[in-house]
Structure 1
Amino acid sequence: MPPIAPRPAPRPAPTASADASYRMLWRWHFYAGLFVMPFLIVLAVTGTLYCFQPQIEPLLYPHLLKVEPSGDRLPPQRLLDRARVAAPAGATVTNYTLNTDPRASAEFVFRLPAGGSDSVYLNPYTGAYLGSLSVEDRLMKQVRMLHRALLVGKPGELLMELAACWVLVMIATGLAMWWPRLRQRGARAFVPGPATGSRGGWKEIHLALGAWLAVGAVAFILSGLPWTGSWGKQFKALATAANLGRPADGQGDMHAHAAPPASGADHMKHHHTMESLPLADMPWAVGLTTVPSVAPAKTAPLTLDQIVAVVAAQDITTGCQVVFPKAPGGVYTASCFPADPRGERTLHIDPASGQVVKDLRFADYGPVAQAISYGTSLHMGRYFGLANQLICAAISLGLMAMAVTGLVMWIQRKPARKLGAPGHPAALPPMRAWAIGLGLLGAVFPMMGVTLLLVWLLDRRIAGAGGVRTAPTV
């Protein structure tokens, strides 16, 4: 008679301390999720759309962006002359897009007298006017501004930044609650288990999605925060001060070829940074670099053909925008923001001589700026083509699914006319590691730190006023 296999030891019941810690984690996970939920859905949808901008825009504006190749392309200066005729009266040209795609139209951006800008499109083979499009009102610009600032300017930008920081709290607390499942089930913790109860199916999907998406979500947040209007600017200033970010002023100057700088009031008038230029995109590292000025030309400036030839001689012919000088003493600026960060390049060109006054390359960046350039390219789905786009879309839509499943579970669980927050534990667990971690997180992201403190004080007050101290089942 074969020996009877011993029964597996019963799973040890959680200790009171572990149960209290779980309830506190769940409570903070609930607070973070409740706040983040609507913003996470907006970020996911807009981020996915913007990631596929190269495919979507030609479908939206095929008559403007696409042409049939026929013969040789006209010189850029001749196209500029025709674009000026087609542009609204009083409009001033600001940009020209370099594009070697034979099926792409020629695009010039004009600043309008009443404000705003229009893109004027021409057939590069015939010079025929194809139409114009408002830079500010085009769909992808609106999607991008919704992603960054909810279309309400600075308040929206700060709110989206705060929501992104709270996603980190949501992810950390969610992983901490999931960790015991990983220890018990091993690899099976990454797939939905058998559903129990009315909310069991939603819970299993939520847990599995969270386990798979945690690393990608953190990478999304960390690669997007350097571009934010509050923390991102402070971080850029710190990285610059430590020589880890943008190139230092003077780096990239071509002293042997630079024209004498303007002096006095004229020099101060032209002393501005790259962020002040009318560029749709630019490398993060060069945003605060100074745009040089030169002595006002005493001869006729070079044609656009000659400026484009100067750029082409640097072995960069696509992924760039050429910005025209704004006033006497200004320079042409070629800003290159290709999919591969190593190709990022910023050239400032003397409009009279065609000499490169300043040349900033990826190698000139500090290590932090180089890492951010790679993160940005991956975040936008640009670095390794369609596969990068699909991965970004999967992470974004997966996060949206987590928000939706969390919402469904909350609606099913919460009592009528009550918030339905998880119950407060009868005795507060020490959780020193969590307190230190949240404190460090609040120190790194000060705006989030203030809200963390406010939520903690409010939670203590609710608990002290006799709040619910028993946790309903998830």
Structure 2
Amino acid sequence: MNKRKAKSFYITMWRWHFFAGLIIAPLLFLLTISGIIYLFTPQIEERLYADYYQVEAEGESIAPSEQIDSVLNHYADANITRYRPGEVEERSAEVHISLQDENLIVFVNPYNGSVIGEQPEHQRFSTIIKDLHGEFMLGTFGDRLVELAACWTLVLILTGMFMWLPKNKNTLFGVLIPRVRKGKKIVIRDLHVVPGFWISGGLVFLILTGLLWTGLWGTMAQNLATNSGVGYPPSVWVGSPPESNVKTKEVADVPWAAQNLPVPASDMNGYVPVSIDDVVRTANEMNIHPTYEVIYPSSKEGVYTLSAFPPKAEDEATIHIDQYTGQF
């Protein structure tokens, strides 16, 4: 490549880099701030909802079914959708209900069944920050916007790396170490280029792992992982269980690899539905991480879904339990 073509190509890369940064910088800033906040959501909610979360340990807790009966006594027309036992003795239980087209979280004292308070699900801090970080609170359009910003960030990094490539391979200054004793223009350039090189690898990792959660690219990757058996525990099913057309991510917040697994159907053959006490007992016997929640069946053919989404990936679990036989 002659000098004229090389210079022209460099200018083209510079323009792509400049306009990509100009367009997506506000979105990246919002994603960065919301991502940092999302990272500390459990600690933030511990303070925000201390009055709802904290209870005094009073010996043995009452059965989950009794806690739910207490909620139904307060909300007679409610439908139970989820139940989350407290993970420590001083933590309240959560009962999610659907009442008059509104989804509420009811906090219950697990020792006496008293209702501590309620909160609309869409107003919960974790729900708001998750929607902000995942889709800019704009639904599907916002999800596509986040995905577009992530992809253009890759363009930003690739064009930046091209312009970073050193012309003089005999020096580290201006390449791996900023030249702080040169003129103002060079210092500003190096303070952008050199740190950009050092963080580019981590940034690419964040983008690629973040894209796995998006609606378009992420769904295709999830389908590929599901069809190839990646992340699908072989011991979950024995034989070929009946499957529905509902995806697991539509009924619960679950680990990435389990999102597109089909939710099985319960066997209704003359069985009486198991109780929530049986489901919780099963979860405890299987040593599921105590932050799990139980998602109720949405129909007569539906299943109970146990979903544990703790801080450590090795503790994650997604288990479907037949609502009639109790088998998983």
TM-score of the two chains, using structure 2 as the length reference: 0.88
* Shift in Å, 1:30: 0.5
What's the Cα RMSD here?
2.8
Where 1:172 maps in the other structure, the secondary structure is helix
Counterpart in 2 of 1:127?
A: 113
Percentage of matched positions with identical amino acids: 33
AA in 2 matched with 1:342: E
* 1:330-341 to 2 correspondences below 5 Å: 330-341=302-313
How far apart, CA to CA, are the structure 1 residues paired with 2:39 and 2:84? 20
Q: Is the 8 A contact 1:181 1:189 kept in 2?
A: no
Counterpart in 1 of 2:257?
A: 285
Considering only CA atoms, is the larger Rg found in Structure 1 or Structure 2? 1
Where 1:136 maps in the other structure, the secondary structure is helix
* Shift in Å, 1:105: 1.3
More strand by percentage: 2
How far apart, CA to CA, are the structure 2 residues paired with 1:61 and 1:199? 50
AA in 2 matched with 1:275: K
Counterpart in 2 of 1:327?
A: 299
Q: Is the 8 A contact 2:271 2:325 kept in 1?
A: no
AA in 2 matched with 1:77: S
* Shift in Å, 1:110: 0.9
How far apart, CA to CA, are the structure 1 residues paired with 2:173 and 2:107? 54
* 1:50-449 to 2 correspondences below 5 Å: 50-87=38-75, 89-114=76-101, 116-180=102-166, 183-186=169-172, 189-194=175-180, 201-241=187-227, 243-245=228-230, 247=232, 252-255=236-239, 271-277=245-251, 279=252, 281-296=253-268, 298=270, 300-356=272-328
Where 1:194 maps in the other structure, the secondary structure is coil
* Shift in Å, 1:271: 4.5
Structure 1 251/213 Cα, relative in aligned 2: closer, same or farther at 3 Å?
same
In structure 2, stretches of 5+ residues that fail to align are none
* Shift in Å, 1:121: 0.5
* Shift in Å, 1:322: 0.8
Where 1:157 maps in the other structure, the secondary structure is helix
AA in 2 matched with 1:96: Y
Where 2:290 maps in the other structure, the secondary structure is coil
How far apart, CA to CA, are the structure 1 residues paired with 2:203 and 2:319? 35
Q: Is the 8 A contact 1:108 1:119 kept in 2?
A: yes
Counterpart in 1 of 2:24?
A: 36
How far apart, CA to CA, are the structure 2 residues paired with 1:86 and 1:204? 64
Q: Is the 8 A contact 1:99 1:317 kept in 2?
A: no
Q: Is the 8 A contact 2:78 2:97 kept in 1?
A: yes
How far apart, CA to CA, are the structure 2 residues paired with 1:113 and 1:328? 21
Counterpart in 2 of 1:393?
A: none
Matched residue count: 327
Between 70-79 and 18-27, report the one with greater CA deviation.
Answer: 18-27
AA in 2 matched with 1:252: V
Higher relative contact order (CA 8 A, sep 6+): 1
Q: Is the 8 A contact 2:17 2:160 kept in 1?
A: yes
* Shift in Å, 1:318: 1.6
| Runs of 4+ displaced beyond 6 Å | none
Counterpart in 2 of 1:364?
A: none
How far apart, CA to CA, are the structure 2 residues paired with 1:66 and 1:92? 25
1:47 to 27, 35, 38: 35
